[in-house]
Structure 1
Amino acid sequence: MPHSLVLNLLPQSLIPPQFLTGRHLHALFLTLVSSVDKELGDRLHDSTADKAFTLSPLQIINTNSPLLKGSKRGAKLQWEHQQPIPAGTPCWWRISLLDDTLFSKLTQLWLNLNPSHPWHLGPADLYITSIQGTFQSIQPWANASTYAQLYEEASDSHRTIHLNFCTPTAFRQGQYDTTLPTRESVFNSLLSRWNKYSGIEFPQIAIESIFPSFVNIHTEILADSRSKFIGIIGEVTYKILGTVELIQIKQINALADFALYSGVGRKTTMGMGMTRRLYSP
């Protein structure tokens, strides 16, 4: 069962920008896991395989943001910080969990949350003040659904898939990265994670029937002392065209809805590839 959890955080001291990278947030997540199951934390740290979680960059809560005014499209996410985050600045951080095993292991952490227990991000102390796990209009990144529900509720007639790539997104192609969100790159990424975690395997999807009809994207570059990552930001609309069986349309729609939890492409455990399906008003 996939969960998209939003942790509301309050830093007790200034967070320098060099500690706001995906690498440091990844380490914070492993610390959270290790606090309830050290063996699991060590295993996730050592694993090089596709991991059953994704993370977002740290987001500053802005009360003037469209996200907090119920906007369907939501505010633009921040994926890098040039300035430190001052103490006392409310923030949020999204963690998605793709299988029940990982969620159940962390249940004790959520149930026994101590808002006065500090967690460390670099030199800063953070308090987790609350956790949102169900959809709210003011926080569309929080949600939960079983895989069976995602599949059952997926449309078998909706032929328009509008995806919003909210943090830099890139795909592995052989030995190198590509930033182009082709149907193969996007939907094969979703299909791989769906088949690995859902228990409802799609042997193949009608990928040859998916065509981009609207593209509004640009590239962004993230660089730190270790590496440089180039990914796309923006929106792409895909259309399902031609004669396609209803079950195949349903599968494609299920994958598009699953994108909220799984993200697409590379480095989703470092805050990249955050993707959300948007519906027209």
Structure 2
Amino acid sequence: MPYAIVIHAFPRTDLPVAHAQGKVLHGLFYELLLKASAAKGDEVHGTAGLKPFSTALLLSERQRRAESIRAGEELKVRFTFLDDALYPLLARYFLTTPDLSFDLVRTELTVARILSTPQSGEEWAGCTSFDDLHASASETEKQFSFHFATPTFFKRGGGPTYPDMIVPLPLPDLVFGSLLRNWNQFAAASFVEATLLKEICAHHLEMTHHRISSQQARLVFQREDGQYRTTTFPGFVGTCAFRLVGLQDTAIIKTLNALADFAFFSGVGAKTTMGFGVAKRI
């Protein structure tokens, strides 16, 4: 059952924005999961391939421009879960831990509240089920608009002959292909094959609008000596819209609508477990 929670926390000292993202945020998730359930933490960490979670910092406009988040300034950390077992384990840990806090970049953050529903007023929180996502998906809607809130990029494999490539553009086959892989990995019932979806995107999905801008994706690692190393990738943020043309198959239309709605929980593109590709349908 897909869940998205947003933790509102306050750092006790200034927190460097750049160092609080990437691998560091990824590590925070595992740290909390291991405290909630060592067995589940080891299971998720040891599983190869797609991971059943995503992480992100939801920065304010000021925080995106600043070098540091000030002591006492609210910081939002978002986690999403695609494995049914994850949310109950972490929710129980959060509820049973007095004076909940955690460390990020050697800075202690005090947790003020954890929101898990849009009724709480937090637009990036929510929950549903795969069955409900599919059941509620339209069989007639042919417009698909997305908002990409954190730097997003795709990794296109080159196979044995060519190098892998980073693609910092919301091409329809890459957007929906990313969503399809996550759906088929974690939902009980799979959708169409990737090759069929790629053909549909190539011949029936056109981009009708975009307002995207380039934004570097900064992947931060903490080395064994405690210092930080940063790798950057070209990415994009903003909005774009697609339109389905020349296709009337209601099953395919329903599948594309379900995948578009699923973006809220799965994220889009590469490195979603490290804060990238936070997206939703608009």
Give your verdict on TM over 0.5.
Answer: yes
Match of 1:66 in 2: none
2:178 to 168, 177, 189: 189
Contact 2:7–2:113, Cα closer than 8 Å, also in 1: yes
Match of 1:88 in 2: 72
One-letter amino acid of the counterpart of residue 131, structure 1: I
Structural mapping, 1:1-281, within 5 Å: 1-60=1-60, 82-114=66-98, 116-136=99-119, 138-174=121-157, 175-204=164-193, 205=197, 206-207=200-201, 208-223=203-218, 225-278=229-282
Give, in angstroms, the shift of residue 58 of structure 1.
4.6
Match of 2:224 in 1: none
Contact 1:17–1:81, Cα closer than 8 Å, also in 2: no
Sort the Cα spacing of 1:38 and 1:77 in 2 relative to 1 into closer, same or farther, 3 A.
Answer: farther
Give, in angstroms, the shift of residue 48 of structure 1.
4.4
Cα distance in 1 for partners of 2:192, 2:277 equals 24
Contact 1:163–1:235, Cα closer than 8 Å, also in 2: yes
Cα distance in 2 for partners of 1:28, 1:253 equals 33
Cα distance in 1 for partners of 2:181, 2:83 equals 14
Cα distance in 2 for partners of 1:77, 1:29 equals 25
Cα distance in 1 for partners of 2:150, 2:73 equals 22
Unaligned runs of 5+ in 1: 61-75
**Length, aligned pairs only:** 261
RMSD: 2.0
Contact 1:209–1:244, Cα closer than 8 Å, also in 2: no
Contact 1:9–1:130, Cα closer than 8 Å, also in 2: yes
Secondary structure of 2:9's partner? strand
Q: Deviations over 1:39-95 (max 9, x none)?
A: 3334444544211001112535xxxxxxxxxxxxxxx696x5642222211221111
Contact 1:219–1:231, Cα closer than 8 Å, also in 2: yes
One-letter amino acid of the counterpart of residue 101, structure 1: A
Match of 1:72 in 2: none
Cα distance in 2 for partners of 1:141, 1:166 equals 10
Q: Deviations over 1:216-255 (max 9, x none)?
A: 2121114453311211111110001113211111110000
Give, in angstroms, the shift of residue 159 of structure 1.
0.8
One-letter amino acid of the counterpart of residue 133, structure 1: S
Cα distance in 2 for partners of 1:81, 1:99 equals 34
Moved over 6 A (4+): none
Cα distance in 2 for partners of 1:77, 1:215 equals 24
Unaligned runs of 5+ in 2: 158-163, 221-228
Secondary structure of 1:57's partner? strand
Contact 1:220–1:230, Cα closer than 8 Å, also in 2: yes
Sort the Cα spacing of 1:243 and 1:121 in 2 relative to 1 into closer, same or farther, 3 A.
Answer: closer
